[in-house]
Amino acid sequence: MQEFRPEKYLPDSNLWEEGKKTSAFKTPIFELVSIPKVSPDKTISGNFFKVESKDWVNVIALTQDENVILIDQYRHGIHSYCLEIPGGIAEKNSLLESAQAELREETGFVSDDWEYLGKVSANPAFMNNWCHTYIARNVYPHPGGQELDESEQIEVYQYPLNKIPEILEKNILHHAMVVAAFGLFFLKSGEKKK
C-alpha cells in the first residue's frame, strides 16, 4: 500500500483508450451510451456503459433568521416522498442562472446574495455529470410564487440551519446530492452540530 500524496495526484493522466461511443437509449433527462475501452496496460478491454446527463445544480437557501428552505416531493425512483433542497438540471446559460431559476420555480423564493459552494460528481462509476451547489442568503418571497413544472408537486418548508445535522443523522434528509451539499456547507462554514 502506498501513502496518498494529494500534490502528486493526477486523475487525468494515463487514461483508458476510448473508441467511438454509440447511443443505446436516450430520454429527455439522460442518454445511455456504450464506449469501447482498453486499459493503459492493455490487459482489460470491452464495451463499457455510461449515463450522460447535463450537470445539476442545487441550492442551500437561507432566510435572514438562519432557516433553511426545504422542499418535499414525490420521487419515482424510491416510490416515496423525499425531503430535499431546491435543485435540478442546469439548463440555463450559466450554472448560477440555473440555480436561481430552480430556487424561484420550486420554492417561490429569490435572493440577491449568492455564493458558489462547490461540486461533487454524481456517480463517477457510470455517470459523466457534476452537481454544483450554491448558497443563497437572505431569501425572500417572489411575488409570483412557485412556477412548478407540469409534473411537479412540491411542498415548501423552513427548518433551522443548526438542526440540519439532526435530520441528516436520522436519514430524514437522505438524497445523496443534498447530503453532499450540506457536507460542503458545514466543512466550509466550520459550523458544529449544536
193 pLDDT above the threshold of 80: no
For the segment 72-89, the average pLDDT, to the nearest whole number, is: 96
Distance (Å, whole) CA 6 – CA 77: 36
Give pLDDT, residue 149: 87
pTM exceeds cut of 0.75 = yes
For the segment 95-106, the average pLDDT, to the nearest whole number, is: 98
Burial 16-34 (b: 16+ CB within 10 A, else e): eeeeebeeeeeeeebbebb
Read off the pLDDT of residues 133-142 as tens digits, 9 standing for 90 and up.
999 999 999 9
Give pLDDT, residue 168: 97
194 pLDDT above the threshold of 60: no
Read off the pLDDT of residues 7-24 as tens digits, 9 standing for 90 and up.
999 999 999 999 999 999
* Residue 95: all three cell numbers together: 450554472
Whole-number Cα distances in Å, 143 to 70, 109, 162: 19, 9, 28
What is the domain partition of the chain in residue ranges?
6-53, 56-192
Q: Are 91 and 54 in contact (CB under 8 A)?
A: yes
Give pLDDT, residue 96: 98
Read off the pLDDT of residues 16-49 as tens digits, 9 standing for 90 and up.
999 999 999 999 999 999 999 999 999 999 999 9
Contacts for 21 with CB less than 8 Å, ≥ 6 apart? 33, 34, 35, 50
For the segment 125-153, the average pLDDT, to the nearest whole number, is: 94
pLDDT band with cut points at 50, 70 and 90 for residue 70: very high
Whole-number Cα distances in Å, 53 to 71, 90, 102: 23, 10, 17
Q: Which CATH class, in words, describes the domain spanning 56-192?
A: alpha beta
Give pLDDT, residue 39: 97
